Structure 1
Amino acid sequence: MAKTLGNVQDLTPVMDTLWSRIDAHILVAGVTSGRQAWIYARSRIPDLEVSGLFKDLHARPDERWTRFTLPDGEPDSVRKSLVELLSSRLPADSTAGDVMTVSPKCVDESQTVANTHDMMLRFNLMSLVVKRGDQFAGIVTRRDLDRAVQMDLWDSPIAPFVPSQPPFVTRETPVRIVRKLMVRHDVTKIPVIEEGRILGIVTAREVLRGLRELLPPPAEYLQQVEPVPVPDRNAMETLLKRVTPIKVLHVLRKVSATAEARKIAAYAVGGFVRDLLLERPNLDMDVVVIGDALPFAEAVSAELKAHLTVFDRFRTARLSFEDLKIDFTSARREHYAQVGALPQVELGGIANDLSRRDFSINAMALDLSAGSFLTLVDLFGGLRDLHEGRIRILHSFSFLEDPTRMFRAIRFACRFHFDLAEDTQRAFDLARQREALTTLSPKRVGAEITRCLHEESPGRVIDRLYAAKLMRVLHPDLADASVLPARFKLIPGIIRRFAPLHEPIDGEVVHWIGLLASLAPEQAEKLLIEMGMHANRRTAIVKSIRALSEVPLRLARLAAQDDVGLFTLLKPLPIEGLVALVAFVLDKAGARQIFDFLGRLRGVRVELCGDDLIALGIPAGAHMRTIFDALLEGRLRGSITSRKDETDHAQRIFSGLRLPLSGRNGRQPAP
Structure 2
Amino acid sequence: MKLIVGHRNPDFDCFASCVAAQKLYPDHVVLMSGAPQQNLSQFLGIYEEKYNYITESDLTDENVESLIVVDTASSDRLGQKVQKIVEKAARIVIYDHHPEIKEQTIRGEKQIENIGATVTLLVEEIMKRNIEIDSIDATLFAIAIYEDTGSLLYTSTTLRDLEAVKFLLQKGANLAEVAEYIRYDLSFEQKQLLEQLLSNVETHQIDGLTVHVASAETEKFIGGLGVVVSKLWSLENVETLVCIVRTGKKSHVIMRTSSNEVDLGGVANELGGGGHRKAASFTVNESDISSIKKIVLETLKRYVNRGVLAKDIMSSPVRVVYSDMTIGEVNKIMERTGHNGLPVIEWNRLVGIVTKKAVDKAMNHGMQNHPVKAIMSSKLIVVDTNTPLSRVRQIMVENDIGRIPVLENGILVGIITRTDVMRSSFADAVKKAPRKAVFEEDQQQFVNVRDLLISRLPKKVSDLLRLLGRFGDELNLPVYIVGGFVRDLLMGNPNLDLDVVVERDGLSFAEHAAKRLEATLVKHEKFLTASLFLKDGTRIDVATARTEYYEAPTELPQVEVSTIKKDLYRRDFTINAMAIKLNQKDFGLLLDFFGAKKDLENKVVRCLHTLSFVEDPTRILRAVRFETRFSFRIEERTSQLMLEAVRQGYLEKVSGQRLRQEFEKILEEPKWLAALKRLSDFEVIKRMFPGVFYTVTMEQKLRSLADFLPWAEEFFGNVQRFYAVMFVFLEYHGDTAIEEIKARYGLSSKFVDELKLLKKMIVPLSKVISNKLNFSDIYKMTKGISPEGFCYIAAYLDPESQEYLKQFLTKLRETKLRYVDGRIIVQKFALKPSRLIGELLEEVYCAKLDGSIDDDQEMQFVEKKLKDLVSSKAPAQ
TM-score bracket for the superposition, by shorter chain length: 0.5 to 0.7
The 1:177–1:606 alpha-carbon spacing in structure 2 relative to 1, beyond 3 Å, is farther
Matched position secondary structure for 1:486 = helix
For residues 572 and 422 of structure 1, what CA distance do their matches in structure 2 show?
A: 48
Please point out which of 507, 526, 540 is paired with 1:326: 540
Deviations along 1:42-67, one digit per CA (max 9) or x if unpaired, are xxxxxxxxxxxxxxxxxxxxxxxxxx
Which residue is 1:576 aligned to? 788
The 1:634–1:461 alpha-carbon spacing in structure 2 relative to 1, beyond 3 Å, is closer
Alignment of 1:44-123 (within 5 A): 104=57, 106-108=59-61
Alignment of 1:157-306 (within 5 A): 214=231, 215-216=233-234, 217-219=238-240, 232-233=447-448, 236-305=449-518
Matching residue's letter, 2:468: V
Matching residue's letter, 1:266: V
The 1:186–1:420 alpha-carbon spacing in structure 2 relative to 1, beyond 3 Å, is farther
Deviations along 1:328-371, one digit per CA (max 9) or x if unpaired, are 22222111111111111122222221121122221111111122
Matched position secondary structure for 2:547 = strand
Displacement of 1:269 in angstroms is 0.9
CA contact (8 A) 1:284 1:326 kept: yes
Please point out which of 568, 577, 587 is paired with 1:354: 568
Displacement of 1:283 in angstroms is 1.5
Alignment of 1:572-651 (within 5 A): 572-582=784-794, 584-587=795-798, 590-607=801-818, 625-626=838-839, 628-636=841-849, 641-642=854-855, 645=858, 649=862
Displacement of 1:108 in angstroms is 2.5
Matched position secondary structure for 1:511 = helix
Tell me the TM-score normalised to structure 2 length.
0.48
Please point out which of 614, 617, 630 is paired with 1:403: 617
CA contact (8 A) 1:403 1:440 kept: yes
Displacement of 1:507 in angstroms is 3.7
Which residue is 1:365 aligned to? 579
> Is structure 2 residue 524 aligned with structure 1 residue 335?
no
Which residue is 1:48 aligned to? none
The 1:471–1:277 alpha-carbon spacing in structure 2 relative to 1, beyond 3 Å, is same
CA contact (8 A) 2:724 2:792 kept: yes
For residues 178 and 374 of structure 1, what CA distance do their matches in structure 2 show?
A: 39
Matching residue's letter, 1:556: K
CA contact (8 A) 2:444 2:591 kept: no
The 1:436–1:600 alpha-carbon spacing in structure 2 relative to 1, beyond 3 Å, is closer
Deviations along 1:183-230, one digit per CA (max 9) or x if unpaired, are 75999xxxxxxxxxxxxxxxxxxxx99978843422487995779996
CA contact (8 A) 1:510 1:577 kept: yes
Identical amino acids, percent of aligned pairs:
25
The 1:471–1:263 alpha-carbon spacing in structure 2 relative to 1, beyond 3 Å, is same
Which residue is 1:556 aligned to? 767
Matching residue's letter, 1:107: T
Matched position secondary structure for 1:394 = coil
Which residue is 2:779 aligned to? 567
For residues 421 and 555 of structure 1, what CA distance do their matches in structure 2 show?
A: 42
Which residue is 2:22 aligned to? none
Which residue is 2:692 aligned to? 478
Deviations along 1:49-98, one digit per CA (max 9) or x if unpaired, are xxxxxxxxxxxxxxxxxxxxxxxxxxxxxxxxxxxxxxxxxxxx88999x
For residues 510 and 833 of structure 2, what CA distance do their matches in structure 1 show?
A: 58
Cα RMSD after superposing both structures: 5.0
Matched position secondary structure for 2:785 = coil
Displacement of 1:609 in angstroms is 6.7
Displacement of 1:280 in angstroms is 1.6
Alignment of 1:141-160 (within 5 A): none
For residues 467 and 767 of structure 2, what CA distance do their matches in structure 1 show?
A: 64
The 1:588–1:344 alpha-carbon spacing in structure 2 relative to 1, beyond 3 Å, is closer
Matched position secondary structure for 2:60 = strand
CA contact (8 A) 1:102 1:347 kept: no
For residues 581 and 179 of structure 1, what CA distance do their matches in structure 2 show?
A: 81
Decide which moves more: 441-450 or 636-645. Answer: 636-645
Matched position secondary structure for 1:108 = coil
For residues 710 and 740 of structure 2, what CA distance do their matches in structure 1 show?
A: 31
For residues 689 and 647 of structure 2, what CA distance do their matches in structure 1 show?
A: 17
Displacement of 1:395 in angstroms is 2.2
Matched position secondary structure for 1:414 = helix
Matched position secondary structure for 1:334 = strand
CA contact (8 A) 2:844 2:858 kept: no
Deviations along 1:269-307, one digit per CA (max 9) or x if unpaired, are 111111111222111121112344445335434544556
Displacement of 1:520 in angstroms is 4.3
CA contact (8 A) 2:521 2:530 kept: yes
Matching residue's letter, 1:108: D
What is the number of residues matched between the two proteins?
Answer: 494
The 1:605–1:294 alpha-carbon spacing in structure 2 relative to 1, beyond 3 Å, is farther
Deviations along 1:510-552, one digit per CA (max 9) or x if unpaired, are 333333344347644541342134x3xx735762575365134
Displacement of 1:597 in angstroms is 0.9
Matched position secondary structure for 1:339 = coil
For residues 488 and 589 of structure 2, what CA distance do their matches in structure 1 show?
A: 16
> Is structure 2 residue 590 aligned with structure 1 residue 376?
yes
Unaligned runs of 5+ in 2: 1-36, 45-52, 65-80, 93-107, 127-132, 141-179, 185-229, 241-258, 260-389, 400-442, 871-877
Unaligned runs of 5+ in 1: 1-92, 112-127, 140-164, 188-207, 658-671
For residues 121 and 480 of structure 2, what CA distance do their matches in structure 1 show?
A: 24
CA contact (8 A) 1:359 1:393 kept: yes
For residues 720 and 785 of structure 2, what CA distance do their matches in structure 1 show?
A: 14
For residues 404 and 342 of structure 1, what CA distance do their matches in structure 2 show?
A: 11
For residues 580 and 490 of structure 2, what CA distance do their matches in structure 1 show?
A: 11
CA contact (8 A) 1:509 1:541 kept: no
The 1:425–1:474 alpha-carbon spacing in structure 2 relative to 1, beyond 3 Å, is closer
Displacement of 1:649 in angstroms is 4.5
Displacement of 1:432 in angstroms is 3.5
Displacement of 1:375 in angstroms is 1.0
Displacement of 1:435 in angstroms is 2.6
CA contact (8 A) 2:624 2:678 kept: yes
Displacement of 1:390 in angstroms is 2.4
> Is structure 2 residue 683 aligned with structure 1 residue 469?
yes
Which residue is 1:50 aligned to? none
Tell me the TM-score normalised to structure 1 length.
0.61
Matching residue's letter, 2:657: K
CA contact (8 A) 1:571 1:602 kept: no
Deviations along 1:613-664, one digit per CA (max 9) or x if unpaired, are 899898777666445435534543557644994699499979989xxxxxxx
For residues 648 and 139 of structure 2, what CA distance do their matches in structure 1 show?
A: 40
Matching residue's letter, 2:778: L
